[in-house]
Structure 1
């Protein structure tokens, strides 16, 4: 197979099918597809259920409109893809001839005809009334344009479905959707996490009271928006006419740092992803906790513990003045020394778990009656770890976490940790900790979700080495994301459905980017509000939230109840 090496055009067709009019829809979509092909598109993506419309009450309602894959519908598009030497991915309801089961599926057709299909793994409630859960996993199809995988709509709320494509080397993820915000808002993170392009096709009108917001887009492997259709937030703004959005994909970008980072995964640590404890998980908290947290953001005086202590005390006093109910404080990683890049310095700063640093923070915890998450270079059995400790208000150590996914600087001196624990506390509920680069790996926060973390603390030393600013349309979220919101940290919170408190440095020779923050469960539909500190200012960022949110439409309970764990096996294979 001869691979395309030069940049090529792709097209997202924002197509609004007429419910129950399969033949008319197929004809109209074929006409639009040919238009895109004539304009030079080599890959076209159309929305979820684009041949029939989306809402069907039961099997009987959709029975007249299903088709096999391959079948009559794919044959229509095969004529076009052969004529124009191109590919299309489109959503449709499929019937399996052997079982007579129906699936919310997507078909791929190329120059030589039918290529393959995908059955939606993570369905939304509406489809479960007529459709069976997808049973094919996430196949990746090797084409002249590169390796192409498919996810559909609700799949993107679960990092695992895109990750299954990523670990198979997918270059492009085709994403048919009927989204009201949640599904398409996750796409920049899914692109970044896996180093792949994403071509998303949504609808822009309302069906049976369900409004789809348009915003079809193409995302780069770095999570940058290459093109986007208008975002249509209300039914009054409905656009029934189709919109074609074009962008260019460059095969030279298939090999990139985000895809390279997949080699740093630690599958041996992710076994909990296969655990399905629902609905009888008696270890979870059932009582919400009201949290007043402070993320301390400061410029580290590298290697000078005394000066860093002064900064921390000053910021903590300010946080307590801002809110006397303060009960959680999170500091950047290696809190008293700042990051180090060689083994000699690391060894000179290293301490035992009961050394100067933990005693300093224990004294502060007792004085201010707060829980503290802080980091140090820990020496244990002749190994050095980038560790973080959770100190209780009585000064005792409630938990210790050793960084499992090391940075380039860490690798010069640190031993990677070997577990992803969650710590139970009386004051705050269940706390998980990630450090710095751990946040890049959604499996890590996924394990913390399975272990029922209510809050995730992230001590960090971020200077842009991963992640980046969020580029989703500001119109998409009821509660607007602050400027300088960071994709990776937001993906931890939403992906694990756990409030996430990040403390980062500013300044120094390493050019730390600040942005200490609270990321929340659902600003998109108006539950809560992320908060982000400036990129260049020392401050104690004080935030408030209440854990669990048991009554919200989507929460950690519903996330874990709906995960399709049998298909996640490749994620934990070493």
Structure 2
């Protein structure tokens, strides 16, 4: 009897809990619907403004007053979104917590209150950088606030800090929130964040339409922005300073970038303190919400989070897996017009170009060939036709290149259609100078044409060699996904080779202001390939085709670790058949920013969303 009563009571309780849960869920859903209903997105093109504003150190109230004036000027000229620089309310350089303590403010707080009134008056939005104090912990953060007509909307705390800020501020702990507004989905990154592709990617995978980018940049941060726009299919509105503070010179060049990585507008660039512009500059451009949905954003669906787990690894300073020996590399990127399916003709071209490369530099020790090197690309062929060109990993292509490697004493990276049982792969082999196989890679991010016949690979390996050090391989469209090269960086690849068949289907020409880089980027430099090298801090050799009815664009190249501050020089071929020969020394242990610095400073705690489906 007692058992029956107990069961009855339990059933009643379960019913109440279930019903309560149902109504609670219904209430949450209704609240969410109301919130979403409040945000009626603007569909017509609208104007955005980047404010190149130079605050005065230790003058918070005066800076806020001046920033309000210049923001109102931008609003009066039609801007619906204004972005101001990093630390715009205080100035940038503070030695410690005591130095900045009088100038911090909470978010929301007095500063955001001042901008709320203005944003409401003009039915517009502003993002500005400021020094934040968390009232609960009394920790300070390099932060940025988003304020709109509805009031204070949200904030972002800088994830990847520069050394100067670490003396007074804590690492950002909010991840990368994306805010739903009338103008679309807005996210924020700050300055040094852009040196780490992960922070913008976290915005991209949440569907951000606009990345607001407050910065105090001397070159590195703003040079990465076309790649961040392109990789994630979002507009980027950057605001820099254009003067010098405590010896630190900020170069201006505030710019607005399209989701394709094209430059829409740019403020003056000032490379030396003698050119400082203390007065504020407003730069306008138009954002078209119709472009929020675009090919680059759609490409995010091709991510393979199951392959990216290493991105979460925090590598210790005493990492024993890294290579500490620099290798001198003389690489030949072979660029030719393939003859589809005609292996013998393609072999002749390859041998001729290797001999050309050897004649240019007898110390040649690495050759990189385009994707599917002997057959040429098989776009448009049906699977049974591709089958006829396929071979095992120790088949005709491997035997040919083994003999070539031994004859010319060079390591060779080449691509081929691999048959493994009933499966086909778009693969690449690395053959050592002695003719042995040092590694095999199967393309992990397939193009539309690959998907007709190929299986996707399931790993992103790095191969250790005596002659070259540690080398990672990517193929074609893999380069579109910074996660792929990011994994190779965590695995400490000294360099990356990319066999390609590029005819403009992704990427685009680099449009950063040429004066920004101490060693200028050559004509025809490609954003996507450069982003691999810079983002992984690994020298990257790309080999591409020219010609055919697909109009392959050439541009075989070497992309380097740091041309901005004159460490090294990118090299890019034109669109003619040739053997592009380049030289470089791997590792660069003494450089101010290198793979070691990159790996040790990544804030992996906030990257989990990148490795989850």
**TM-score, structure 2 as length reference:** 0.93
Deviation at 1:478, TM superposition (A): 0.2
Aligned counterpart for 2:566 among listed residues 515, 526, 544: 526
Inter-partner Cα distance in structure 2 for 1:509 and 1:416: 26
Aligned to 2:595: 556
Residue 154 of structure 2 corresponds to 116
| Whole-angstrom distance in 1 between the partners of 2:449 and 2:548 | 16
Match of 2:95 in 1: 57
Residues of 2 paired with 1:172 and 1:340: CA distance?
Answer: 37
> Which residue does the alignment assign to 1:27?
65
Q: How does 1:283-322 map to 2 (within 5 A)?
A: 283-322=321-360
| Map of 1:48 onto structure 2 | 86
* SS at structure 1 position matched to 2:607: helix
The reply on whether 1:508 has 2:551 as its aligned counterpart is: no
* 2:464 aligned with 1:424: yes
User: 2:7 is matched with which residue?
Assistant: none
Match of 1:327 in 2: 365
What is the CA–CA distance in structure 2 between the aligned matches of 1:144 and 1:241, rounded to whole Å? 31
CA distance in 2, matches of 1:22, 1:307: 70
Residue of structure 1 aligned with 2:245, choices 204, 207, 213: 207
Counterparts of 1:187-266 in structure 2, within 5 Å, are 187-266=225-304
Q: How does 1:21-420 map to 2 (within 5 A)?
A: 21-341=59-379, 342-420=382-460
Equivalent residue, structure 1, for 2:608:
569
1:264 Cα deviation after fit: 0.4
Question: What displacement does 1:280 show?
Answer: 2.1
2:579 to 524, 540, 551: 540
The DSSP-based 3-state class of the residue aligned with 1:349 is coil
Q: Describe the superposition over 1:306-361 as per-residue Cα deviations: whole angstroms up to 9, x where unpaired.
A: 00000000000010111110000000000000111321221000000110000100
Secondary structure of the corresponding residue to residue 439 of structure 1: helix
Give structure 1 regions of 4+ aligned residues with deviation exceeding 6 angstroms.
none
**Alignment partner of 1:476 is 2:516:** yes
Unaligned runs of 5+ in 1: none
1:427-480 deviations in Å (ceiling 9; x for gaps): 000000000000000000000000000010000000000000000000000000
In structure 2, how many angstroms separate the alpha carbons of the residues matched to 1:392 and 1:68?
59
CA distance in 1, matches of 2:248, 2:327: 34
Q: Distance in 1 between matches of 2:214 and 2:421?
A: 52
Distance in 2 between residues matched to 1:381 and 1:59, nearest whole Å: 64
Counterpart Cα distance in 1 of 2:352 and 2:214: 51
- Measured in 1, the distance between the counterparts of 2:76 and 2:553 equals 45
Distance 2:245 2:588 in 1: 29
What is the root-mean-square deviation in Å for CA atoms of aligned residues? Answer: 0.4
1:211 to partner: Cα distance: 0.4
CA separation in 2, counterparts of 1:206 and 1:466?
38
Scaled by the length of structure 1, the TM-score of the pair is 1.00
Larger Rg: 2
2: distance between equivalents of 1:552 and 1:395? 34
* Residues 231-281 of structure 1: CA deviation (Å, up to 9, x unaligned): 110011000000000000000000000000000000000001001122121
> How big is each residue's C-alpha offset from its partner over 1:380-408, in whole Å with a ceiling of 9 and x where there is no partner?
02100000000001111000000000011
The yes-or-no answer on 1:10 pairing with 2:10 is no
